[in-house]
Amino acid sequence: MTSLPVTLTQLSHLLPPDSRNHLALLDDVCPGIICVVSGQGGEPRFTLEVEVAGRMLRTGGHRRVHAGLVDELSALVSGHLGRVI
Give residue limits of the domains in the chain.
2-64
Judged against a pLDDT cut of 90, whether residue 76 lies above it is answered with: yes
Helices (H), 13-85: 17-29, 67-81
Judged against a pLDDT cut of 80, whether residue 2 lies above it is answered with: no
Inter-residue contact 68 to 62 (CB < 8 Å): yes
Q: pLDDT digit string (tens) for 7-23?
A: 888 888 899 999 999 99
Q: Residue type at 54?
A: G
Inter-residue contact 76 to 40 (CB < 8 Å): no
Q: pLDDT digit string (tens) for 23-73?
A: 999 999 999 999 988 887 778 899 999 999 899 999 999 999 999 999 999
Inter-residue contact 39 to 16 (CB < 8 Å): no
